[in-house]
Structure 1
């Protein structure tokens, strides 16, 4: 993929997350409309497309769920080959697999056409 196309996917993913988080400003119980799995997966996608190995603790900063739920989803992503471990500055983190990156990109393309 070209760098311009990658930037477009990252921007779309960031916009999607921002739109989802805006719901919290209008509804008292922000957990009702949350989708922690998708939010987490997009966070990993953004980090991977930005050529980063992301630490699990970094993903939890803006996540609208508990660390326990996020950890369970990370395990599920790993079991389904959506993510793999990577190393950055001597620490073990995670990044998205190439096939999962392609699936996210295809989804973001489809959403853009709506």
Structure 2
């Protein structure tokens, strides 16, 4: 990660986790098939995992995002082709590319500033 301090890394990871929670709340209120965004869910989960120095396998990622394996593998292929995740062996560990990680950090900084909070008070 390119984040300079551990505190900044933790803040961005909390912001990503809060986005995941908010998306979960949305799913409870609205039908999930209206808002399926498997690729974005996977990228958020991978960011949190990498921020916590945790390597995720395909199966862990699919479980964490509630993505069926066939659908997940198709999205992973798109994400690799688009340069968002590192190429990986089927079933192997998955990580965001340095470029995607840097852009995600920028997005999360902007999202955190927009919300003016990194979680419930």
TM bucket (normalised to shorter chain) is: 0.7 to 0.9
Name 2:41's counterpart in structure 1. Answer: 39
> In proportion to residue count, which structure has more helix?
2
* Counterpart among 21, 26, 30 of residue 18 in structure 1: 21
Runs of 5+ in structure 1 lacking a partner? none
Q: CA deviation at 1:86?
A: 6.8
User: Could you say which structure has the higher strand fraction?
Assistant: 1
Structure 1 ranges of 4+ moved more than 3 A: none
Pairing partner for 2:59 from 57, 60, 63 = 57
TM-score using structure 2 length: 0.80
- Answer yes or no: is the 8 Å Cα contact 1:81–1:97 preserved in 2: yes
Q: Which residue of 2 aligns with 1:76?
A: 78
TM-score (norm 1): 0.84
* Matching residue of 1:5: 8
Cα RMSD (Å) of the superposition?
2.0
Deviation sequence 1:47-90 (CA, Å, 0-9, x none): 11111221010011132432222111111111222222579xxx
- The 1-side partners of 2:40 and 2:87 are apart by 19
Q: How many residues align?
A: 110
Name structure 2 gaps, 5 residues minimum.
Answer: 115-121
Q: State how far apart, in whole Å, the 1-side matches of 2:53 and 2:26 are.
A: 29
How far apart, CA to CA, are the structure 2 residues paired with 1:85 and 1:49? 19
